[in-house]
Amino acid sequence: MKLGALILPLKYRASSATDTMFVLCFILCLSFLPEVKSDIELVQPSSEIKSPGESVKLSCKTSGYSFTSRWIHWIQQVPGKGLQWVGAIDPSDADTRYSPSYQGKCHISTDNSQSTAFLQLNNLKVEDTAIYYCARDTVRGTN
């Protein structure tokens, strides 16, 4: 994206130092537009309903970036409570980390050919009722 193509049609006459600063900040913000990745998507099914004792395998289909370049995290939100980190996986090598409170209760995996991550919860209990989110790291690095 060429910044000049966005700025050239603008005709602006600064009437004060504040107006000039606003325009400079606006131009500076526009200069970061090429870094915006608005086409990245992580898509999950709308809902899964299971009974206690059953298992569920939640999916997180991604697109718009190289799937193996970023960790995928799973987060739980019990109704009326805050967010709890469940665990994460590095799709490039299947390195998986779990929160101590979820260790042994779930399994995180990927299907790299489908750019999809999974969270499997076994032997469900009533207290597992929650919204489960998947999220992608924004920066590549070591955990």
DSSP designation for 54 = -
Q: Is residue 23 part of a domain?
A: yes
Same domain, 98 and 29: no
Please name which of 143, 28, 14, 16 lies closest in space to residue 88, comparing C-alpha atoms: 143
Give the model's confidence band at 23: pLDDT under 50 very low, under 70 low, under 90 confident, else very high: very low
Q: Is residue 141 part of a domain?
A: no
Give the model's confidence band at 138: pLDDT under 50 very low, under 70 low, under 90 confident, else very high: confident
Distance CA(1)–CA(18), nearest Å, equals: 28
Distance CA(98)–CA(73), nearest Å, equals: 10
Q: Is residue 74 part of a domain?
A: yes
| Each residue's pLDDT tens digit, 24-77 | 444 444 444 444 445 888 778 778 889 999 999 999 999 988 999 999 999 999
Task: Tell me the residue range of the domain where 19 lies.
Answer: 3-35
DSSP code per residue over 77-109: E-TTS-EEEEEEEETTTTEEEE-TTTTTTEEEE
What pLDDT sits at residue 139? Answer: 74
* Number of domains the chain is built from: 2
Residue 106 exposed, middle or buried by CB count within 10 Å (0-12, 13-18, 19+): buried
Can you give the CATH number for the domain in which 70 is found?
2.60.40.10
Phi and psi (nearest 5°) for 99?
Answer: -65, 140
Q: Is the pLDDT of residue 143 over 60?
A: no
Distance CA(118)–CA(15), nearest Å, equals: 56
Phi and psi (nearest 5°) for 116?
Answer: -130, 135
